[in-house]
Amino acid sequence: MTVPARAEVVVVGAGLAGLAAATRLAAAGCDVHVVEAAEHAGGRLTTERIDGFVVDRGFQVLNTGYPRVADLDLPSLDLGWFLTGARVWVDGRAHAVVDPRSRPAALPATATAPIGSLREKAALAAFSLRAGYLPVPRLLAAPERTAAEALQRAGLGCAVLERFLRPFLAGVLLEDRLDTSSRYLDLLWRSFVRGRIGLPARGMQSVGEQLAGRLPAGALHLGCPVTAVRSGAVDTAAGPIAAVRRRRRHRPDGGRGPAAGRDRLGSTPGHHAPARAARLAVGRAAAGPRPARRAAGEQRRPHRRPAAVRPGRPRPGGQLHARPHPGGRRPRGGRAGARGRRRRPGPPDQRDRAARAAGRRAAAGPAARGRPGRRRVRLR
């Protein structure tokens, strides 16, 4: 497998984390290459076919409640679903603990399962509702404790903790003391409450293969172990890959970057991509927001200031006073005014004052009436 001599971003490892970062960097316009020592993409997600059976290495399931699962095309994975719940082995017998939302008929068996008292089961339901439906900022703002302390403060006693929660969480967190942060426990339990558990028909390896299929052609290098990572280069078994910084191309009009696909405001559909790429690639500086530019040859349109309606008391005859456009001209598009309900004429004293004011303006002559000033407009 040959590798490029230079690359803008090199991702070491084609596991789920590396593939997710690489696909997002590629979508942001980066020249990204992924190097993987194994002969398949997906990392620990490995699937073999033995005697016609699809066999996954290790205990791997797909939880649709994980945030990054939203990036996957779930229908194409052809998922088979597990029943939401668990089987608890107590006193030589298996007891089903099933989420009643998925199977309401199993509620009596779950309520009588020997995992604790009814009070502890109600506390477990309350803990699940809090973690599943409380906003994430409120979950993260809670005081941080160990997972064991958080479960005890939630009213989950020794029976439900030792018979159900500790064995289950030990397989997920890979530690049985429950010293994990309570905030991580809230987010993890939230994914189980809001998501479903399933397996792809072609095995868990198909998840990594789907992400790898979104990379540009030639960006994934399998069977290429990395021997060293040093400043400015990544050494692989196929040769070193030197870091290169992409230079912006200068346009004939003096600007930088491609002009195609830019709208009048100078923004493109991925104009926030540099900041996202900088968060994903450590040490990469993100370019600031591009200033707004007009397309080449576009003329600036004259700015027309609309007439401003003067707020205040209603004038006689349902009229409002409006400041005229500079120069005494009316803006194009019809009469200036305000749409609304017609007002009834004012009381007689207001009508008399209006009549006297109209008489004074008539006596002043047309020259005075033509001076710029306030203009009376009638409501439409």
Find the range with the poorest average confidence among 1-10, 113-122, 258-267, 327-336. Answer: 258-267
Angle CA 270–273–276, to nearest 5: 150
CA distance 339 to 296: 39
Per-residue pLDDT reduced to its tens digit, 135-169: 999 999 999 999 999 999 999 989 999 999 999 99
Instruction: Please report the pLDDT score of residue 145 as a whole number.
Output: 94
Per-residue pLDDT reduced to its tens digit, 156-207: 989 999 999 999 999 889 999 999 999 999 999 999 999 999 999 999 999 9
Find the range with the poorest average confidence among 53-67, 238-252, 253-267. Answer: 253-267
Angle between helices 16-27 and 273-280 (to 10 degrees): 150
Which amino acid would we find at residue 161?
A: L
Q: What is the DSSP letter of 292?
A: P
User: Could you tell me the two tokens for 295?
Assistant: 């397309």
Nearest to 168 by CA among 183, 189, 149: 189
CA distance 132 to 145: 19
Per-residue pLDDT reduced to its tens digit, 13-61: 999 999 999 999 999 999 999 999 999 999 989 999 999 999 998 778 8
User: Which range, 16-30, 299-313, 364-378, is most confident?
Assistant: 16-30
Other Cβ atoms within 10 Å of 224 Cβ, number: 22
Secondary structure (3-state) at 90: strand
Radius of gyration for the alpha carbons in the chain, expressed in angstroms and rounded:
35
The 3-state secondary structure of 306-367, one letter per residue: CCCECCCCCEHHHEEEECCCCCCCCCCCCCCCCCCCCCCCCCHHHHHHHHHHHHHHHHHCHH
Which amino acid would we find at residue 88?
A: V
Nearest to 168 by CA among 143, 197, 137, 135: 197
Average pLDDT estimate for 113-132: 93
Grade residue 290 by pLDDT with cuts at 50, 70 and 90: very low
Angle CA 265–267–270, to nearest 5: 165
Instruction: Please report the pLDDT score of residue 256 as a whole number.
Output: 45
Mean residue pLDDT of the chain comes to 77
Grade residue 252 by pLDDT with cuts at 50, 70 and 90: very low
